C-alpha cells in the first residue's frame, strides 16, 4: 500500500516503457530504466533467475511490480499463497483462488513455476494435527491427511507447477530432526512419506528439500544425512533449496561454495531458493531464519530509516557480487537463483525478526529502480572470471 502510494505515474510509464521496449523520452530516470539489463537475459546461460511473488504482483494490481517481475525474471515462487494455512484453511475447505492466479501468471509469462510448500511446521493450522475432539491425530490419520493434502494440491497443478518444495525446514540448527508435530506424530519417516506422495501425485515434477542456515556445518551435515536417507529409500529428490537468507557477514563465500559442493556430491542439484541480504544490525544470536522468532523494536536496531548510506550500498553490492561469483562457478548444478521479494519495500525483512524496520535486502529499491547491488551482479555475470573490481 505505502509503496504504491509512493510511485508516480511517470515511473509507472518508465517501467512499462522499458518492458515494452519503447523508445524512452529524455528524462534521466527514463534513460536509466530503458537501459536496465534483464537478469534473466544476463544469466541465461547459467541458471534461471527467480523471484518470490505475492498477489499484488501476480494479479497485476501493482502494475509496476508486475512489469518488473515480467521484465527481469523467468521463475517465480509463491511467497505465501501455496502454504497450507492459505490453500487449505479448514478441514475439507480448499481455497485455490490466489494460487490459480499465481500459476496462471507464471504460465502466461513462460516462467518456471515453483510450488512452496507442502509439509512445514509453520503457517500450518493447528487443526491439521488434531481430530474432531481436539486430540492429537494418530500416525495413520496424520499420514492420510498429509496424503490427501498433497494429492489435492499437487494434483490440481499437475503438469503446470514445475517443481515443489516438498518439505520445508525439517532440521534444527544442530542438524537433528526438528520436534515438529509432523515428526512427533508420524516419526522420522514423515519426510520419506511426503516425497513419496508428491512423486505419486505428479511424477514429472521436480522435488526439493528446502531449509535455511544450511551453510553452517552441523545443519549442512543434517541435510546431507536427510538426502542420503531419501536416496536409500529409493525416493526421488531432485534438489536442495538453500534458502540463502544471508547477512552482510554470513555465510562466508567459502562456506557457500563448500555447501554447494557437498550437496552436489550427493547427485542432486542445488537452488538458491530465497536469497536476500539483511543489512540491519543483528537482532538475534546465530543465523536463524525461523519465521516464528520475534524481537522488540528499538531505534538502534533500525539505523537506516531515512536511507541507506553509500558505504552500505557498496558493501551490499560487494556481497551480492561475491555470492554470484560462487553461483556462476557452480552453474552446472544450479537450476535457479531466486530472490525473496521483488523490491526492498515489500521484503519480509522489514518486519522480521523486528516489526517495522527499514531494510534494504534486495536488488531493486523502494521505487523499484535497480540498486548498485543490481549493477554489481550484472557486472559479475559479464565478467565470469571474476577479475574485474566491482565499482
Where do contacts with ligand GLA occur on this chain (CB under 6 A)? 116, 168, 212, 243, 274, 289, 291, 348
- Compare residues 282 and 329 and give the one whose CB is closer to ligand GLA: 282
Q: Which sign does the torsion angle of CA 325, 214, 261, 347 carry?
A: negative
Q: In the complex, what is the shortest distance from the CB of residue 81 to ligand GLA, in angstroms, rounded to a whole number?
A: 11
- CA–CA dist 97, 382 (Å, integer): 41
- Compare residues 274 and 375 and give the one whose CB is closer to ligand GLA: 274
How long is the chain?
391
CA–CA distances in Å: residue 79 to residues 247, 334, 339: 20, 21, 11
- Compare residues 227 and 289 and give the one whose CB is closer to ligand GLA: 289
Q: In the complex, what is the shortest distance from the CB of residue 80 to ligand GLA, in angstroms, rounded to a whole number?
A: 7
200 as an active site residue: the answer is: no
169 as an active site residue: the answer is: yes
Q: In the complex, what is the shortest distance from the CB of residue 243 to ligand GLA, in angstroms, rounded to a whole number?
A: 5
- Compare residues 43 and 348 and give the one whose CB is closer to ligand GLA: 348
The answer to whether 172 and 216 are in contact (CB under 8 A) is: no
CA–CA distances in Å: residue 305 to residues 298, 316, 357, 358, 359: 12, 17, 7, 5, 8
Phi and psi, residue 238, nearest 5°: -95, -35
- Compare residues 202 and 274 and give the one whose CB is closer to ligand GLA: 274
- CA–CA dist 18, 37 (Å, integer): 10
Cell numbers at 17, concatenated: 516503457
Which residue, judged by CB position, is nearest to ligand GLA in the bound state?
348
Q: In the complex, what is the shortest distance from the CB of residue 210 to ligand GLA, in angstroms, rounded to a whole number?
A: 6
Looking at 196, 215, 256, 274, which residue is catalytic?
A: 274
The answer to whether 348 and 340 are in contact (CB under 8 A) is: yes
Q: In the complex, what is the shortest distance from the CB of residue 327 to ligand GLA, in angstroms, rounded to a whole number?
A: 18
Separation of first and last alpha carbons in the chain: 34
- CA–CA dist 1, 62 (Å, integer): 9
Looking at 79, 169, 196, 215, which residue is catalytic?
A: 169
- Say which residue the cell 525446514 belongs to: 169
- CA–CA dist 174, 172 (Å, integer): 5
Count of CB atoms situated within 10 Å of the CB of 250: 17
Q: In the complex, what is the shortest distance from the CB of residue 359 to ligand GLA, in angstroms, rounded to a whole number?
A: 12
Q: How far is CA 372 from the centre of its chain?
A: 21
- CA–CA dist 2, 120 (Å, integer): 31
Q: Which residues contact 132 (CB under 8 A, 6 or more apart)?
A: none
DSSP for residue 234: T
- Compare residues 242 and 377 and give the one whose CB is closer to ligand GLA: 242
Q: In the complex, what is the shortest distance from the CB of residue 256 to ligand GLA, in angstroms, rounded to a whole number?
A: 17
- Compare residues 70 and 83 and give the one whose CB is closer to ligand GLA: 83
Catalytic residues: 169, 274
Amino acid at each position: 500500500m505505502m509503496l504504491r502510494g509512493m510511485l508516480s505515474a511517470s515511473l509507472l510509464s518508465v517501467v512499462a516503457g522499458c518492458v515494452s521496449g519503447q523508445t524512452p523520452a529524455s528524462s534521466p530516470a527514463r534513460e536509466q530504466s530503458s537501459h536496465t539489463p534483464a537478469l534473466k537475459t544476463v544469466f541465461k546461460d547459467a541458471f534461471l533467475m527467480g523471484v518470490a511473488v505475492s498477489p499484488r504482483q501476480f494479479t497485476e494490481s501493482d502494475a509496476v511490480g508486475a512489469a518488473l517481475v515480467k521484465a527481469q525474471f523467468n521463475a517465480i515462487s509463491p511467497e505465501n499463497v501455496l502454504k497450507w494455512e492459505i490453500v487449505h484453511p479448514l478441514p475439507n475447505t480448499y481455497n485455490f483462488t490466489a494460487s490459480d492466479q499465481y500459476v496462471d501468471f507464471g504460465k502466461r509469462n513462460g516462467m518456471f513455476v515453483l510450488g512452496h510448500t507442502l509439509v512445514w511446521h509453520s503457517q500450518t493450522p493447528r487443526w491439521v494435527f488434531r481430530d474432531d475432539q481436539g486430540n492429537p491425530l494418530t500416525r495413520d490419520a496424520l499420514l492420510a491427511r498429509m496424503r490427501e493434502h498433497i494429492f489435492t494440491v499437487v494434483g490440481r497443478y499437475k503438469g503446470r507447477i514445475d517443481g515443489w518444495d516438498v518439505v520445508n525446514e525439517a532440521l534444527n540448527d544442530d542438524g537433528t530432526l526438528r520436534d515438529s508435530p509432523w515428526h512427533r506424530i508420524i516419526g522420522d519417516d514423515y519426510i520419506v512419506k511426503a516425497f513419496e506422495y508428491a512423486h505419486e501425485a505428479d511424477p514429472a515434477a521436480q522435488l526439493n528439500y528446502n531449509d535455511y542456515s544450511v551453510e553452517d556445518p552441523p545443519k549442512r551435515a543434517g541435510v546431507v544425512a536427510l538426502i542420503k536417507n531419501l536416496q536409500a529409500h529409493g525416493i526421488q529428490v531432485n534438489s536442495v533449496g538453500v534458502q540463502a537468507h544471508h547477512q552482510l557477514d554470513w555465510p562466508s563465500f567459502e562456506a557457500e561454495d563448500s555447501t554447494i559442493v557437498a550437496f552436489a556430491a550427493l547427485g542432486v542439484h542445488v537452488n538458491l531458493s530465497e536469497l536476500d541480504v539483511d543489512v540491519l544490525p543483528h537482532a538475534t544470536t546465530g543465523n536463524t531464519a525461523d519465521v516464528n522468532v520475534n524481537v522488540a523494536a528499538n531505534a538502534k536496531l533500525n539505523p537506516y530509516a531515512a536511507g541507506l548510506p553509500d558505504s552500505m550500498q557498496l558493501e551490499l553490492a560487494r556481497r551480492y557480487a561475491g555470492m554470484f561469483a560462487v553461483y556462476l562457478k557452480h552453474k552446472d548444478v544450479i537450476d535457479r537463483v531466486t530472490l525473496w521479494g521483488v523490491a526492498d519495500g515489500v521484503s519480509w525483512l522489514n518486519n522480521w525478526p523486528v516489526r517495522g524496520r527499514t531494510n534494504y535486502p534486495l536488488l531493486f529499491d523502494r521505487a523499484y529502480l535497480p540498486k548498485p547491488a543490481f549493477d554489481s551482479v550484472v557486472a559479475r555475470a559479464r565478467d565470469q572470471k571474476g577479475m574485474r573490481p566491482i565499482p
